[in-house]
Amino acid sequence: MNVVDAALRTILRCALAPALVAGLALPLGAQPSGGPYGPVPQTYAVPAGAAHVYYVAPDGKSQAGGTALADPATLESAFERVVTGDVIVLRGGTYRTGGLRLNQGITMQPHGDERPVLKGTRVATEWQAVSGNVWRTSWKTLFPARPLGWWRREREGARTPLHRFNNDMVFVDGEPLRSAGWEGELDAKSFYVDYDAGQVYIATDPKDRLVEITAFDNAFVRVSREAHGKPSDRKGPTIRGITFTQYAYRAIDIEGKKPATLVSEEPTDDPVGPQEPGTFGREVVGTTLENVTISHTSRVAGYFRGDKLTIRNSLFSDTSTEGVYVIASADVLLERNVFRRNNVEKLTGYYPAAVKIFNQSHRVTCRDNLVIDNPDSNGIWYDVGNVDGVFVNNWVENAIDGFFFEISKGAICAGNVFVGCQKGVRVLNSRDVRVYQNTFVDTVASFERNERSNVGDHFGWHPRTGPGVEEREGHAFVGNLLVASESFRKPLLRFEQPKALCQQLTRPQAKTVDGNVYVRYGSAKVPLVVWSPAEGESCQAELASLEELRQLQPGFEASGRVFGDYVGALFKSPELRRLELARALPGLASAASELPADVLRLLGWPAGKPRSPGAYPSPVSSR
């Protein structure tokens, strides 16, 4: 087989992901770059011009001055002292701490090349054996929780037990255990919490084992109001080279206008309903994360609110409902990060995403990120009221929806690779999404609209922040390469709307569909394109060829090409993630058209050069 099948994808994902996280560039070509992704080892010097420098250590003293390396303070006492422009330098080691508060624009970083790790757990040492190879310990810091009010138990209760929503976590020798509903469900890989008695049960003998149980539900909250006797300076922190792990709920919380919420409260209603840009996102500006790792948080890695957020070369792994959650923020940049293994608890009905960009965020750019190993989660989801999103040069593999743009206005999606996703691109109830020069392998591209409006919506005000029902059009799908292996038996492109809308919405969702190339290995009789609106009772047509699409929608795919029953090497080496074309495909000279100037600028491609479709351009052949 000449494209990567599911089994091989799994093998390569396990083998290659650690190398990518470690910052080893693989030969992927120009778009995406091939790394380094995730944290890159650094030796940190103290920033010049720091107002004050505080040194802290796991064994520091709270009464210590902390102004000299030999006299370290505690992290907790440093948080109380710092003011704008100060630097906290962390010695290497494990800091078991949390619940810290900060409202100043400071820098946190390691000392030199040391590796500080903030943990939200404590070590459990007092265990009592009970019957049936089960042990229990009394535990004071428990985190019972329940799903938010919009979760539909009548739909999901049989698939997701309620105890999955509790935020307690247990680790044995660093390995996370899964929650169980009672003692009788326990095995060596699970734990049970009796909240009434305040006891934790495991079925692994704790003797000579490191057993850690959650003790904090956050590492720190950057509050937007007074803290430690100081008013907020409205400047976000800069965090470099630090690991946060094993926190119940979330590791980092950057507040907006509303104080940080309890786990039982909706964290994203800030603002509520449509608001003018500039009336939010100004409370904490300029938060920066570089070479940071956040892992094993029982809900989200972090809530990030505030304009000019930058997150680069960081790793977010083993989270639950979301990894990174960006809320009501403008001019945000996420680049060269790794987002992997979200929704490890397999919650259903909770709309998980490795990255969620939410509630009227403007100009959020996701560039050259690696989004992998999220089979029970969406990849990067722009959801509710977002404007002018930019999604370029990312590699997204093994997700539900790779790039999901919902109830929002305006986006460019270009130069990305989507492998083994249910839908690589999914556009829902949005307008003006332009999709150029992406590579799809065993992955569908889908544009959808439905009746959802601001009348009687399950989520209240959400639809009011996006385009109305009759405005959900204006998309472009140009210059993409869509490849199906012999075992992939789905249409490659879908434009869908329900039958109930077909009398109301008669224009297509797209204004341009052209220059795309469709390659299918094998001779499976599968529709190439699903199209709506179309004549007929179902208002939907399954099209076997581009000629049928041209007849249905004149002017579309005038330069498109289909290579059916394809034989031979299409890519240089899918096994090594080399998805450049192995050779020029014949007859594509007329399909190559000039891209819009703003797309060329985002991709870094020169103007005036014909190129093949997909994320990795190559010369075209007229033969």
Do 209 and 253 lie in one domain? The reply is no
CA 160: distance to chain centroid? 22
Residue 152, SS3 per DSSP: coil
Do 415 and 472 lie in one domain? The reply is yes
CATH number, domain with residue 162: 2.60.40.1180
Mean pLDDT within 151-155: 93
Indicate if the pLDDT at residue 232 is higher than 80. yes
User: What stretches of 216-309 show up as alpha helix (H) in DSSP?
Assistant: none
Let me know: does 193 contact 200? Beta carbons within 8 Å: yes
Do 289 and 193 lie in one domain? The reply is no
Let me know: does 457 contact 433? Beta carbons within 8 Å: no
How far apart CA 56 and CA 195 sit, in angstroms, is: 35
Do 301 and 159 lie in one domain? The reply is no
Let me know: does 529 contact 517? Beta carbons within 8 Å: no
Do 450 and 359 lie in one domain? The reply is yes
- Look at residue 588 in the predicted model and tell me its pLDDT: 75
- Look at residue 31 in the predicted model and tell me its pLDDT: 81
In a domain? residue 287: yes
- Look at residue 68 in the predicted model and tell me its pLDDT: 96
Both ends of the chain: CA-CA distance in Å? 26
Give the model confidence (pLDDT) of 62-105 as tens digits. Answer: 999 999 999 999 999 999 999 999 999 999 999 999 999 999 99
How far apart CA 75 and CA 78 sit, in angstroms, is: 5
Indicate if the pLDDT at residue 511 is higher than 50. yes
In a domain? residue 622: no
In a domain? residue 198: yes
- State how far the alpha carbon of 212 is from the alpha carbons of 171, 180, 220, 371, in Å: 5, 17, 20, 29
303 vs 593, residue with greater confidence: 303
Residue 6, SS3 per DSSP: helix
Indicate if the pLDDT at residue 249 is higher than 80. yes
- Which of the listed residues 161, 191, 213 is the one where a domain comes to its end? 213
Mean pLDDT within 472-492: 97
With vertex at residue 73, the alpha carbon angle to CA 70 and CA 75, rounded to the nearest 5 degrees, is 135
In a domain? residue 346: yes
11 vs 118, residue with greater confidence: 118
In a domain? residue 583: yes
In a domain? residue 222: no
- Look at residue 11 in the predicted model and tell me its pLDDT: 28
pLDDT cut 90: percent of the chain above it: 86
Q: What is the mean pLDDT of the chain?
A: 92
Do 198 and 262 lie in one domain? The reply is no
Give the model confidence (pLDDT) of 394-446 as tens digits. Answer: 999 999 999 999 999 999 999 999 999 999 999 999 999 999 999 999 999 99
Burial class for 317, CB neighbours closer than 10 Å (0-12, 13-18, 19+): buried
Do 197 and 324 lie in one domain? The reply is no
Do 207 and 300 lie in one domain? The reply is no
Do 585 and 446 lie in one domain? The reply is yes
- Which of the listed residues 166, 187, 213 is the one where a domain comes to its end? 213
Provide the domain limits for residue 188: 123-213
> Residue holding tokens 């800030």?
270
pLDDT-derived band at 21 (thresholds 50, 70, 90) equals very low
Let me know: does 247 contact 253? Beta carbons within 8 Å: no
Do 471 and 545 lie in one domain? The reply is yes
How far apart CA 623 and CA 300 sit, in angstroms, is: 52
- Which of the listed residues 166, 196, 213 is the one where a domain comes to its end? 213
In a domain? residue 72: no
Give the model confidence (pLDDT) of 186-210 as tens digits. Answer: 999 999 999 999 999 999 999 999 9
How far apart CA 136 and CA 130 sit, in angstroms, is: 7
How far apart CA 498 and CA 365 sit, in angstroms, is: 31
Give how many domains the chain has, as a whole number: 2
pLDDT-derived band at 313 (thresholds 50, 70, 90) equals very high
Do 265 and 365 lie in one domain? The reply is yes
Pairing status of strand 370-374 against strand 395-399: parallel
- Least Cα distance to 95 among 71, 114, 69, 80 occurs for 114
Indicate if the pLDDT at residue 546 is higher than 60. yes
- Look at residue 25 in the predicted model and tell me its pLDDT: 35
Indicate if the pLDDT at residue 593 is higher than 90. no
How far apart CA 58 and CA 96 sit, in angstroms, is: 8
Residue 335, SS3 per DSSP: strand
Give the model confidence (pLDDT) of 3-18 as tens digits. Answer: 444 433 432 333 333 3
Mean pLDDT within 239-252: 98
Give the model confidence (pLDDT) of 163-173 as tens digits. Answer: 999 999 999 99
Do 188 and 325 lie in one domain? The reply is no
Burial readout 501-532 (b: 16 or more C-beta within 10 A, e: otherwise) = bbeebeebbbebbbbbbbbbbbeeeebbbbbb
Indicate if the pLDDT at residue 587 is higher than 80. no
Indicate if the pLDDT at residue 229 is higher than 90. yes
How far apart CA 168 and CA 270 sit, in angstroms, is: 27
- Look at residue 619 in the predicted model and tell me its pLDDT: 61
pLDDT-derived band at 460 (thresholds 50, 70, 90) equals confident
Let me know: does 436 contact 599? Beta carbons within 8 Å: yes
pLDDT-derived band at 456 (thresholds 50, 70, 90) equals confident
User: Which residues are within 8 A (CB) of 410 and not within 5 positions of it... i.e. 6 or more apart?
Assistant: 387, 388, 389, 431, 432, 433
Let me know how long the chain is: 623
Give the model confidence (pLDDT) of 45-62 as tens digits. Answer: 998 889 999 999 999 999
In a domain? residue 56: no
- Look at residue 620 in the predicted model and tell me its pLDDT: 64
